[in-house]
Amino acid sequence: MSSGSVVTNRAAIQFPSSCPQCGRDATTTYDVAAHRDIELFVLSYYRFIVFPVPVCRACKRGRVVAEIASVTVGVASILGGGFVVFSLLLNEWRLAAAILAAAVVALGLYVRFRADSDVTWQVLGLRIRWMPGDDMPLAISIRHSAYLRAWLAVNPDARQAADARPAGSG
């Protein structure tokens, strides 16, 4: 299995008509979101754009199931963490409560912003990152080499990125 990254810009992007995960003919689409982290002094916020990527029905179903599982685990962790924080506060273990509360908040932010793209990488073998730049460059990581070749065939202007970090959090 050899993965790779490619860079293109938003206006030009095309997707092959085969499934990025299993290579079968795509029969539906899955909306893959590309996030961008925008820094404003101490604040940073996310914007995202959505690309309807052709996928097969079986892989789309897998992606939806993974989404439900990831949200369930995230919510359960946050509720469980909140309960422990509350218990520690009742027992006046304030430092432990504060540390755990910070961890729960961090997990909540991860679930909100990053888990989506990690789950898409695991289940569909595709990650789209929206890079800084005027022409909205997109860095696309592709897990399967056959899909990478198919993708390059329909995006002749794209270039392969030297920096291939398929599982990187950017």
Residue from the set 6, 53, 56, 142 that interacts with Zn ion by CB under 5 A: 56
The CB-of-22 to Zn ion minimum distance in angstroms stands at 3
User: What are the Cα distances from residue 12, in Å, to 118, 138, 159?
Assistant: 24, 10, 12
SS3 (DSSP) at 53 = strand
Binding of residue 66 to Zn ion (CB under 5 A):
no
Residue from the set 13, 19, 88, 150 that interacts with Zn ion by CB under 5 A: 19
Query: What φ, ψ does residue 161 adopt, rounded to 5°?
Result: -80, 135
The CB-of-132 to Zn ion minimum distance in angstroms stands at 32
Which residue's CB is nearer to Zn ion, number 59 or number 139?
59
Q: Which stretch binds Zn ion (CB under 5 A): 5-13, 15-23, 96-104, 148-156?
A: 15-23
Which residue's CB is nearer to Zn ion, number 61 or number 159?
61
Give the start-end residues of each E strand in the chain. 4-9, 28-40, 43-55, 126-130, 137-142, 159-160
SS3 (DSSP) at 108 = helix
Q: What is the rounded CA–CA span in Å between residue 149 and residue 141? A: 12
The CB-of-89 to Zn ion minimum distance in angstroms stands at 48
Binding of residue 18 to Zn ion (CB under 5 A):
no
Residue from the set 13, 53, 59, 97 that interacts with Zn ion by CB under 5 A: 59
The CB-of-55 to Zn ion minimum distance in angstroms stands at 6
For the segment 118-157, give every residue that binds Zn ion (CB under 5 A).
Answer: none
DSSP code string of 65-105: HHHHHHHHHHHHHHHHHHHHHHHHHHTT-HHHHHHHHHHHH
The CB-of-142 to Zn ion minimum distance in angstroms stands at 14
Two structure tokens written together for 167: 């599982």
Q: Which stretch binds Zn ion (CB under 5 A): 20-28, 35-43, 130-138, 139-147?
A: 20-28
Two structure tokens written together for 66: 């993974």
Q: Which residues bind Zn ion (CB under 5 A)?
A: 19, 21-22, 56, 59
